[in-house]
Homo-oligomer: A and B are copies of this chain.
Amino acid sequence: MQSYELNKTDVSNIKKALKGDDAYLSVLLSEYHASEIAILFESLKMDDRERILNLLDVKIASDVISEMHEETHPEELLLQMHPEKRTEIVEELDYDDATDIISQLEEHEQKEILGDLNEDDATHIRKLLTYDEDTAGGLMNTEYISIQLHLSKKEAIEEIIRQSEAIEEFYTIFVVNKDHVFKGIVSLKDIIKSRGDIQITGLLKTDVAWVRPETDREEVARLISQYNITSIPVLDHENRLLGRVTFDDVIDVMEEVNTEDILKISGVSEDEELSGNWVEAVKSRLPWLIINLGTAFLASAVVRSFEPTIAKIAVLSAYMTIIAGMGGNAATQALAVTVRRISLYDLTDKQAYRTVLKEFTVGLINGAVTGLIVFVFAIIFDANAMLGVIIFLAMTGNLLIAGVTGAGIPLVLKRVGIDPAIASSIIITTFTDVFGFMLLLGLASKLLL
């Protein structure tokens, strides 16, 4: 749906060209955008990636490196390259992108790369490396356009043109005083539109959002999204301008955060790389499965305590699977809705209370309806009305607990400052399993024996 697109034919053409000489490969590659070559890299071997990067103009090569997904490890590609070419590429990168990539390397590797750079670039990147990657400092770029408050329109335009030689993209012009303290923003459009040679002070917008370098990256994303701004200034504690975070970084953050949420809620470590190998996957998931095993032993202990009942009425074990399955799924439903709601909105205490009440009602109704179906089934297939009543009560009670815990546990976690998404299905289904079995088997022991 656009003028150029990387499809399977493109990929296989380039793969074929990789078997031939550099001249033809170069010509072929010149037809693609850097971000497309970055996508192509996902299906190429490291040596082929290196060869392609060497063929590209250094400007394009650095764009490719910065567009490569974290999971395809641009830092390893850089490390493998000839130091001279590597230095050229790193010097061409935006500081924030260079920092992101270099931060993935071992300290001695970082030193090696930084040692080759010109002093100015190395200093900027060293400074950025000190910030936590989950903060505004870790996201920010130290290249931006900033002009002094007292400039005239003519001086301002000259200054912007001068600074924009080094900065390819800018969306907002930051205004500072002589101590580099942030004073507000102006837009290029407003400067040009203004009549006469007025001072920048007269065009200043001061009512703008800003962040500190230690502000959490999710908060940065929330502000950029809330105020629909292309970039947000990062200020130190004396309000001096340190850098800016731009909307494209925020889009990347949102994708990462959403991946983490889906993984956490499903009992997968948030650090698992989606395209990682089986070793990483086992490392990420086995600990959660062992926790789950612990909680499963708990549920099985409940069952064990009713062993004599089951020995007499073995069909109960068939109903147990229904109770456990339904409770787990109803809890996962309540959990998903609540976790997502917490991550998009700040809930007041009253709203939190109402949410639990709502899930209580939903659980009660869904439990009663599905319980009724199973009741009818028990009468038809087991010709046992009392068994049907027990199943009905167990199903209703279990789905009610599923709703209350599915909504309540993430809300409580949020309140005490723990990430609500770790209330994964693994934790929640323990409650429904234990409670559901107690209800079903307890009632059966009392009423059927």
Assuming the A-B contacts A297-B377, A307-B315, A337-B281, are A433 and B274 also in contact, with contact meaning beta carbons closer than 8 angstroms in the complex?
Answer: no
Q: Contacts of A228 on B, CB cut-off 8 Å? A: 169, 248
Q: B329 and A425: CB pair below 8 A? A: yes
Assuming the A-B contacts A251-B247, A278-B362, A366-B282, are A2 and B210 also in contact, with contact meaning beta carbons closer than 8 angstroms in the complex?
Answer: yes
Interface residues of A in 20-54 (CB under 8 A from B): 33, 35, 39, 42-43
Taken together, the copies of this chain in the complex come to 2
How distant is the Cα of A207 from the Cα of B60 in the complex, in angstroms? Answer: 14
> What 1/0 mask marks residues of chain A from 241 to 255 whose CB sits below 8 Å from any chain B CB?
000000110111011
Q: Contacts of A186 on B, CB cut-off 8 Å? A: none
Q: B285 and A333: CB pair below 8 A? A: yes
Determine whether A299 belongs to the interface, using a CB cutoff of 8 Å to chain B: yes
Closest to A365 in B: B282
Assuming the A-B contacts A344-B255, A369-B286, are A318 and B333 also in contact, with contact meaning beta carbons closer than 8 angstroms in the complex?
Answer: no
Assuming the A-B contacts A425-B332, A433-B321, are A326 and B189 also in contact, with contact meaning beta carbons closer than 8 angstroms in the complex?
Answer: no
Assuming the A-B contacts A315-B307, A336-B262, A365-B282, are A296 and B325 also in contact, with contact meaning beta carbons closer than 8 angstroms in the complex?
Answer: yes
Instruction: Give the interface segment out of A106-114, A116-124, A219-227.
Output: A219-227
Q: Contacts of A4 on B, CB cut-off 8 Å? A: 207, 209
> What 1/0 mask marks residues of chain A from 159 to 175 whose CB sits below 8 Å from any chain B CB?
01100100001110000
Interface of A is mostly: helix
Determine whether A429 belongs to the interface, using a CB cutoff of 8 Å to chain B: yes
Q: B292 and A326: CB pair below 8 A? A: yes
Closest to A332 in B: B266
Assuming the A-B contacts A157-B192, A304-B315, are A268 and B324 also in contact, with contact meaning beta carbons closer than 8 angstroms in the complex?
Answer: no
Most buried by B among A161, A312, A340, A429: A340
A290 CB contact (under 8 Å) in B223, B267, B336, B373: B373
Q: A351 and B43: CB pair below 8 A? A: yes
6 pairs, CB–CB < 8 Å, chain A vs chain B: A169-B228, A171-B230, A188-B188, A266-B332, A289-B330, A329-B429
User: What is the interface of chain A, defined by CB distance below 8 A to chain B?
Assistant: 1-4, 8, 11, 33, 35, 39, 42-43, 67, 69, 157, 160-161, 164, 169-171, 188-189, 192-193, 207-212, 215, 219, 223-228, 230, 247-248, 250-252, 254-255, 258-259, 261-263, 265-268, 272, 274-275, 277-278, 281-282, 285-286, 288-290, 292-293, 295-297, 299-301, 303-304, 307-308, 310-312, 314-322, 324-326, 328-330, 332-333, 335-337, 339-341, 344-346, 348, 350-351, 358-359, 361-362, 365-366, 369-370, 373-374, 377, 399, 425-426, 429, 433, 437
